[in-house]
């Protein structure tokens, strides 16, 4: 049996799915992401789509940041998500839901943590969060 083709959902498809607010598009998105949840459909969720989805959910729709992060985290944990950077995206969304940094700063921190890198930034809040996470990582067994 041939493996289903990998698809790349855009921000609008994810928003329609998470909000369930469109009478025509939301059911189509639900059907698609149900197949992703079971692993029947393989998808690659771009980092840029995650960042835009966070922005649209929180700014355009007024979804609280914790709820936006939770919805996107749930989606990234579906069996059909094939992202090689999935762990970093999950870490970034978890951080975004917990602190007051923007999603791009959280992505920078998550990628640096995962790749044993270090951010180069003039953003004191980003650097403080990264330093705090690096310190707590060293202290844990």
pTM of the full structure: 0.87
What confidence score (pLDDT) does residue 132 get?
A: 84
More confident position, 123 or 140:
123
Domain ranges of the chain: 6-99
Compute the residue count for the chain: 141
Least confident of 2-6, 26-30, 53-57, 89-93: 2-6
Task: Provide the 10 A C-beta neighbour count for residue 86.
Answer: 14
What confidence score (pLDDT) does residue 99 get?
A: 94
SS3 of 29-96: the string is HHHHHHHHHHCCCEECCCHHHHHHHHHHHHHHCCCCHHHHHHHHHHHHCCCCECCCCHHHHHHHHHHH
Selection from 70, 60, 59, 66 nearest residue 18 by Cα: 70
């Amino acid at each position: 049996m041939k493996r289903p083709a990998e698809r790349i959902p855009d921000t609008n498809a994810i928003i329609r799915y998470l909000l369930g607010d469109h009478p025509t598009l939301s059911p189509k998105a639900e059907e698609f992401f149900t197949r992703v949840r079971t692993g029947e459909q393989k998808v690659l969720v771009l980092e840029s789509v995650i960042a835009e989805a966070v922005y649209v959910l929180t700014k355009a729709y007024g979804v609280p940041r914790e709820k936006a992060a939770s919805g996107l985290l749930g989606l990234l944990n579906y069996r059909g998500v094939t992202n090689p950077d999935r762990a970093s995206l999950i870490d970034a969304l978890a951080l975004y839901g917990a602190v007051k940094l923007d999603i791009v700063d959280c992505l920078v921190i998550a990628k640096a943590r995962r790749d044993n890198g270090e951010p180069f930034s003039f953003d004191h809040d980003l650097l403080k969060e990264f330093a705090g996470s690096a310190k707590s990582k060293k202290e844990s067994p």
